Chains A and B, each alone.
Chain A
């Protein structure tokens, strides 16, 4: 386990948000480039020994960079005059750096955080309890409903169903959607009955209280502080004499 995985999930989410907000507010290519360099070094240090996490990060980066390729093709070239659009090129460069910084930061900081942790962390950072409880419930129900959908997929494949662009495929997809909704509602009714039978009054949100901020280990705060200082240094880098 690496250092980044140890802190409380609230601090990890907060650090991700700090990086995302800093990247969104920064226009300087030097600052964004410095952030990307730091993110790449952190990724290499933390994820290179683990092949599976590198594969996951590579998949995420590939997805966002395909979109960025379209941005470069449409924004940086003036297709009518067949010339380079300077404003578009600058915007595409800023976007490319930002998107990669944020994707890398979220991938390494939130690795191992599941939906339940995210719900609790978000409530700890000020999200309404109802929304946190909804997120936690979604994480629980998703795995169950995914299994149901996987069973349906297998059953359809067993009947030699192959999706293609046809009205039949659309009909089958609509049936699956309707079936999932009806199944979800029936399951929700059973769940409510089960909870009532166990004496759950349903007058408050089922959300566990997070650990008090003061009880968090100093090490967690140190890591969070180091991330904030590092990002701050990247943001002010151009004003320290480095010009674009």
Chain B
């Protein structure tokens, strides 16, 4: 989910960039040089899962998985998503450099919220596959619904009534993405819990 460069107005871009700067500053306090290769690899994974497409009718949707990133990384999601989005802007013109703050905020803030709310349960119930699946689905829900809500808020703040139709369309278009992301995240969290339970405490 990217907001193209040139769409948002200057006050919205500045406000989003300010919040993102705070998020990145908090995330960077947890990042040490030893953790750099792991954090970069998580960013690469996030980058690559965006290329996994699920066909729906004549079109397809791609995975976002910001909820899963939040579960795995907590506040580190801010710097990790920032660099992944910067590279996507460079290589594919997805988003852009002045919209980078806005795009990072809409992906990373719900991810951090999902992490903060659900990570304590992950540690406690990491042996139960059903609970892990529930946590995964909830994380994806917070991630996608949060990102859609923030994108809608930014578009509304830019265009008010003029962009209300676009905001409604955006919210409707994200419904299949949410359902697919929730199922894939639920299954992935359950598989990760079985294969490598320590992964949920990567940054601690």
How far apart are A16's CB and chain B's nearest CB, in angstroms? 6
Q: CA–CA, A23 to B96, complex, Å?
A: 13
The answer to whether A164 touches B162, judged by C-beta atoms less than 8 angstroms apart, is no
Which residues of A sit under 8 angstroms from B89, Cβ to Cβ? Answer: 106
Interface-facing stretch out of A42-50, A170-178, A213-221: A170-178
Contact of A205 among B33, B51, B87 (CB under 8 A): B33
Tell me if A34 counts as interface (CB < 8 A to partner B): no
Question: Which 3 pairs show the lowest CB-CB distances between chains A and B?
Answer: A98-B6, A174-B187, A137-B40
Q: A24-B10, A142-B44, A169-B54 are in contact. Are A75 and B165 (CB under 8 A)?
A: yes
For residue A40, CB closer than 8 A to chain B, the reply is: no
Contact B44 A178 (CB under 8 A): no
Binds A, one of B109-117, B123-131, B145-153, B192-200: B192-200
| Contact indicator A138/B47 (Cβ below 8 Å) | yes
Nearest Cβ in chain A — how far from B4, in angstroms? 5
Q: Decide: A184 and B6 in contact? CB cutoff 8 A.
A: no
Q: In the assembled complex, how far is the CB of residue A183 from the closest CB belonging to chain B, in whole angstroms?
A: 9
The number of chain B residues touching the other chain, given as a range, is 35 or more
A75 touches B97 (CB 8 A): no
Would you give the 0/1 interface string for A147-181, flagging 1 where the beta carbon is closer than 8 Å to chain B? 00100000000000001110101110111111011
Question: Is there contact, CB below 8 Å, between A103 and B83?
Answer: no
Instruction: Check A23–B6 contact: CB distance below 8 A.
Output: yes
Residue interface mask A208-241, B partner, CB < 8 A = 1: 0000000000000000000000000000000000
- List residues of chain A with CB under 8 Å of any chain B CB: 13, 16-17, 20-21, 23-25, 60, 63-64, 67, 70-71, 74-75, 79, 85, 87-88, 91, 95, 97-103, 106-107, 110, 113, 115, 118, 122, 128, 130-131, 133-135, 137-142, 145-146, 149, 163-165, 167, 169-171, 173-178, 180-182, 184-185, 187-189, 191-192, 195, 202-206
Taking a contact as CB atoms under 8 Å apart, the answer to whether A113 and B90 are in contact is: yes
B191 touches A178 (CB 8 A): yes
Is the Cβ of A67 less than 8 Å from the Cβ of B4?
yes
- Chain B nearest CB from A180 CB (Å) reads 5
Asked whether B43 lies within 8 Å of A185 as measured between CB atoms, the reply is: no
What is the predominant secondary structure among interface residues of chain B facing chain A? helix
Q: Which residues of B lie under 8 Å from residue A13 when comparing CB positions?
A: 97
CB atoms of A107 and B6 under 8 A apart? no
Of the candidates A138, A173, A202, A204, the one having the most CB atoms from chain B within 10 angstroms of its own CB is A138
**Residues in chain A near residue B43, CB distance under 8 A:** 134, 138, 141
Task: Point out the residue from B9, B28, B80, B87 that lies within 8 Å of A142, measured CB to CB.
Answer: B87
Q: Please measure, in the bound complex, the distance between the C-alpha atom of A182 and the C-alpha atom of B54, giving whole angstroms.
A: 22
> Could you tell me if A131 and B163 are in contact, using CB atoms closer than 8 angstroms?
no
Given contacts A101-B6, A178-B191, whether A74 and B83 have CB atoms under 8 Å apart is no
A191 and B42 CA atoms in complex are apart in Å by: 14
Q: In the complex the two chains form, what is the Cα distance from A191 to B165 in whole Å?
A: 49
Question: Chain B residues near A188 (CB, 8 Å)?
Answer: 37-38, 41
Q: Are B37 and A171 in contact (CB under 8 A)?
A: no
B68 — which chain A residues lie within 8 A by C-beta? 177
Q: How far does the alpha carbon of A146 sit from the alpha carbon of B48 in the complex, in Å?
A: 7
Contact status A176-B52, CB under 8 Å: yes
Selected A-B contacts with CB under 8 Å, 13 pairs: A17-B97, A23-B6, A60-B92, A74-B166, A88-B162, A106-B89, A134-B40, A134-B43, A134-B80, A138-B87, A180-B49, A188-B38, A205-B36
Complex CA distance for A175 and B188, rounded to whole angstroms: 6
